[in-house]
Structure 1
């Protein structure tokens, strides 16, 4: 199943937009779509909090990494400050997602519509 996201006007994809896509393209009612998106992200967050890795086939893996304490510096004052240990979420894209991104970039570079502004910019600089 392929979703069309042509109507998205902002550079970020939001939960509200995901809910709207489920409503428009799957046929769920708006409340079900919103609940499904919220539940999906809640499950991912909960598993990461528990220290589990989350693998989404064809998309990527979410993991929690523990970072050790380290010395830091306040960039405004130059004062040394300790940065405590912390846990951070990291994402690694799957090979399939990386391939899709690479193909999209290659297609954009070959397209005369996207290549023309680049060539015009080079001519202006040149």
Structure 2
């Protein structure tokens, strides 16, 4: 499912106009982004948790040349599914 399909589904389930559904989805994405950017987690009980993890620096290998390279440490966003979502997908 892509964003347009999601907007259509939200509009259908909530009886909102497509424009209102798009604004709601854009607001949600913006809030998640701002929350993670500020270093906080966002938890939706039963659905899951959005958080930022610190990935340590490590050595890697260039697949073309085989040369050893240094991969820098980085912050990465992750999503952990909640119990109810995991059960629903089984």
Please give the TM-score of this superposition, normalised by the length of structure 2. Answer: 0.91
Matched, 1:82 2:70: yes
- Return the structure number with greater strand share: 2
Give the Å deviation of 1:22.
2.0
Alignment partner, residue 28 of structure 1: 16
- Give per-residue Cα distances to partners, 1:64-95, cap 9 Å, x unaligned: 00112111110111011110110111111111
Alignment partner, residue 15 of structure 1: 3
Structure 1: 4+ residue segments shifted above 6 A: none
Q: 1:64-83 alignment to 2 at 5 Å?
A: 64-83=52-71
Which residue, 99, 102, 111 being the options, matches 2:87?
99
Task: Report the RMSD for the aligned CA atoms in angstroms.
Answer: 1.1
Alignment partner, residue 49 of structure 2: 61
Q: Aligned pair count?
A: 90
Gaps of 5+ in 1: 1-12, 103-126
Give the Å deviation of 1:25.
2.4
Please give the TM-score of this superposition, normalised by the length of structure 1. Answer: 0.67
- Return the structure number with greater helix share: 1
Q: Supply the distance in 1 between the matched residues of 2:58 and 2:30 (Cα, whole angstroms).
A: 31
Give the Å deviation of 1:27.
1.5
Query: Is the radius of gyration larger for structure 1 or structure 2?
Result: 1
Q: 1:109-124 alignment to 2 at 5 Å?
A: none
